[in-house]
Amino acid sequence: MPRHLATITLIGQDKAGVIARITQLLFQLGANIEAMEEQVTRRQFSMTLQASWTHGHFDCATIIRGVNAAARDLAMDVKIHFAPVGPQRLAILVTKEPHVLEGLLAKSPASLGTRPVVVISNRPTLGPLARQKKLPFHYVPFNDRAQAEQQVLQLLDKYEADFIVLARFMKILSPNFVWRWKNKIINIHPSLLPAFPGANAYRQAYERGVKVVGVTAHFVTPNLDEGPIITQEVLKLRSNETLASIVKRGQTLETRCVLRAVRAYVTKRLDVHWGRVYS
C-alpha cells in the first residue's frame, strides 16, 4: 500500500516528556513511527523521527499544525520534511574545487536520480559553473559561522531541498546545523576513513607511505569525518608516485564515489543503525 513518509527533527533544551508528547501526538494523527533516535549533548536535546501514513490517514496541513503547535509548547525548534512525490531535490555546497560539482552537474536528473536545485558556496569562485548549468548560485561568506549557517538553512528551505551534498565544501558545520539534516548530508572525504581524517588527507597518506589510498562518501555527523560510511573507492599507488599525481587521480575517484553515494541514497532507503549504513 502506498505510504506518505516524513522525517521530523526536534531540537531544544532538554526537558522531561518531549518524546512522550511527540509520539502520542503522532499516534493521534494516525502515524506509524518507523524509526527514532534521540540524544542529549550539554543539555541540548535533539530527536530525529521517521513516520509514515497510509493514504487514508494522511492530512499534510493537520500534521504540520499539530507538530508545530507541540514544538511551540515545548519551546523547541522543529523541522518537518515530507518525502517528495517526484525526484528528490539536491542542494550542493562547494568551496573552490570544481571537480565534484562538475561531475554532479554533468549527469542528467534521470541518470543521477535527483534534481539539483541550488549551489551554495563560501566563496564566489564556482558561480559561473553553476550559472552555466542554469542553477541558482548563492555566495555565503562564513566569517561568522552561526550567521552563515542560518542563511544556508533559509536557502535550503527556500529551494525545498531534500538532501545535501558537500562537494568539497571546506567548512565544518556545527552540530546545530547537522542535527537539522540528520542522515541527509553526504560528504566526500579523500581517504579511506577512518584513516587520515581532517585536512590534507592525501598528504597524510603520502607522507605515511601507504600503498593504497582511497576516498569515502559518508553521512555527516557532529564528529568530523566519523559519519556512517555509504561508499568507498580505492586506488593503488605507483612506485615513486608524486603527491600531485595522487591528488589528481584521487579527485577522479572522489567524483565517482559521490555519484555512487547519491544514486544509493535516492534509489534505496538507506538506514543507519549504530553508525553503520544498511540498504
DSSP character string of 23-88: HHHHHHTT-EEEEEEEEEETTEEEEEEEEEEEGGG--HHHHHHHHHHHHHHHT-EEEEEEPPSSSE
E-strand stretches of 83-211:
88-94, 114-121, 137-139, 163-166, 185-189
Place of cell 559553473: 129
CA within 13 Å, CB half, 148: 17
- Rounded to 5 degrees, φ, ψ at 193 are -60, 145
Select which of 59, 157, 225, 271 is catalytic. Answer: 225
Q: How far apart are CA 230 and CA 276, in angstroms?
A: 8
Determine contact, residues 94/169, Cβ cutoff 8 Å.
yes
Cell numbers at 73, concatenated = 509548547
Q: CA-based Rg of the chain, rounded to a whole angstrom?
A: 20
Cell numbers at 212, concatenated = 593504497
With a CB cutoff of 8 Å and minimum separation 6, the contacts of 151 are: 140
14 is catalytic: no
Which residues have a catalytic role annotated? 225
